[in-house]
């Protein structure tokens, strides 16, 4: 079920916040949980799971699909969902290539990419809603 961003003081906001935090943690866990020492390269469980032929790639794709479903529940529109599905599909297809796919997963990080897309879309929608209702933007935004 797709939801709108609830008002800050409403009880629904806590549920919304928990779902967003779950999506954020899942995305980071899959794509940016660990750092290769002395580098700026991060990776997560997606490339590790992908080392298991076929089953690992299916499991990683299923986790990406779960994250996209959560994004839908958080209010992602159809255009954003198509973009997120495209990122996940590219990740699944190229990530399934033996050996090269592991390096691609580390570089592409589709789940973190999709998280950034969602955050940007939600911020833009919030700014637009604030403009419509005449609410001044928060300092620093």
6 inside domain: no
Q: What are 36-92's pLDDT values in tens digits?
A: 999 999 999 999 999 999 999 999 999 999 999 999 999 999 999 999 999 999 999
Mean pLDDT rounded to a whole number for the chain: 91
Q: Which of 55, 58, 50, 46 is nearest to 111 (CA)?
A: 46
**What pLDDT was estimated at residue 128?**
81
Please indicate, yes or no, if residue 32 is contained in any of the structural domains: yes
- Whether residue 3 is contained in a domain is answered as no
Residue 41 located in a structural domain: yes
Mean pLDDT of the 8-32 span: 92
Residue 18: domain span: 11-133
| Number of domains making up the chain | 1
At residue 139, the pLDDT reads: 63
Residues 99 and 82: their CA atoms lie apart, in Å, by 28
Is there a domain that residue 87 lies in?
yes
């Amino acid at each position: 079920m797709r939801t709108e961003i609830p008002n800050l003081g409403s009880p629904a906001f806590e549920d919304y916040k928990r779902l967003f935090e779950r999506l954020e943690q899942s995305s980071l866990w899959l794509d940016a949980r660990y750092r290769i020492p002395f580098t700026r390269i991060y990776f997560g469980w997606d490339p590790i799971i992908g080392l298991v032929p076929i089953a690992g790639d299916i499991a990683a794709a299923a986790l990406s699909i779960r994250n996209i479903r959560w994004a839908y529940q958080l209010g992602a529109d159809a255009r954003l969902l198509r973009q997120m599905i495209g990122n996940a599909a590219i990740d699944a297809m190229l990530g399934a290539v033996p050996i090269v796919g592991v390096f691609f997963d580390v570089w592409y990080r589709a789940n973190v990419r999709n998280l950034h897309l969602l955050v940007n879309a939600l911020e833009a929608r919030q700014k637009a809603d604030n403009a419509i209702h005449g609410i001044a933007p928060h300092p620093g935004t």
